[in-house]
Homo-oligomer: A and B are copies of this chain.
């Protein structure tokens, strides 16, 4: 009973909403902006998603889940390969999927929006903030566990805020990509590899610090 155009409508809304929420935030984006740019009817939003907040939740889930999935897979691969990987290896596993997605999205606005959206979630008031926190909680716990094994002399509390600053840096680097003096200037695979290396070298000694 599902028309093909219904899928298109729903996906169109999701794509446009991702872009506008990232650029203007939750409160700064109106549903009328979304439906105008998506070329659909206003009622379609409530029909497919129920409310503005649930649309936002769907956008965050759509954006976060691929990254969370890949990051957990990367960690599993690393931990299967080596008994006790070092900090650099774990950080590389943590950062790579996000930058991979950056390339897959073409490196333009579509790519930076993904990061800007996450950055926004971390500053927006509840209940918006909690939406993203929930999506990433499993990921953070898994990597904190891994880091705990590599850096047993550090408390969980310490590792927690330190990894939080890695996330802040990652989001910032991706959000600023393309701007002058940014770490990422273009989306070539080579440039991304260099960026990963630089970020690993930046944050690995930071994670080890006391």
| Chain A contacts to B: CB under 8 angstroms | 23-28, 116, 119-120, 122-125, 156-157, 160-162, 164-165, 168-169, 171-173, 175-176, 181-183, 198, 201-206, 208-210
| A164, B157: Cβ atoms closer than 8 Å | no
Copies in the complex: 2
| B168, A24: Cβ atoms closer than 8 Å | no
Between-chain CB contacts (< 8 Å), 20 pairs:
A24-B125, A25-B28, A28-B124, A28-B125, A119-B123, A120-B123, A156-B181, A160-B181, A161-B181, A164-B172, A165-B168, A165-B169, A168-B168, A168-B171, A168-B172, A169-B169, A198-B209, A202-B206, A204-B209, A205-B208
- Report, nearest first, the 6 A-B pairs whose CB atoms are least far apart: A27-B28, A205-B205, A160-B181, A201-B209, A168-B172, A165-B169
A204 and B23 CA atoms in complex are apart in Å by: 32
Q: How far is the CB of A15 from chain B (nearest CB, A)?
A: 19
A160-B181, A201-B210 given. 9 additional CB < 8 A pairs? A23-B125, A28-B28, A116-B123, A122-B172, A123-B175, A161-B173, A165-B173, A168-B169, A198-B210
Q: Which residues of B contact A160 (CB under 8 A)?
A: 181
Q: Which residues of B contact A28 (CB under 8 A)?
A: 25-28, 124-125
Q: Which residues of B contact A23 (CB under 8 A)?
A: 125
Q: Which residues of B contact A172 (CB under 8 A)?
A: 122, 164-165, 168
Q: Which residues of B contact A157 (CB under 8 A)?
A: 181
Q: How far is the CB of A92 from chain B (nearest CB, A)?
A: 14
- A28-B28, A120-B123 known; A176-B202 Cβ under 8 A: no
| A25, B162: Cβ atoms closer than 8 Å | no
- A23-B125, A27-B24, A125-B24 known; A176-B161 Cβ under 8 A: yes
Partner of A202 from B25, B162, B181 at Cβ < 8 Å: B162
Q: Which residues of B contact A182 (CB under 8 A)?
A: 161
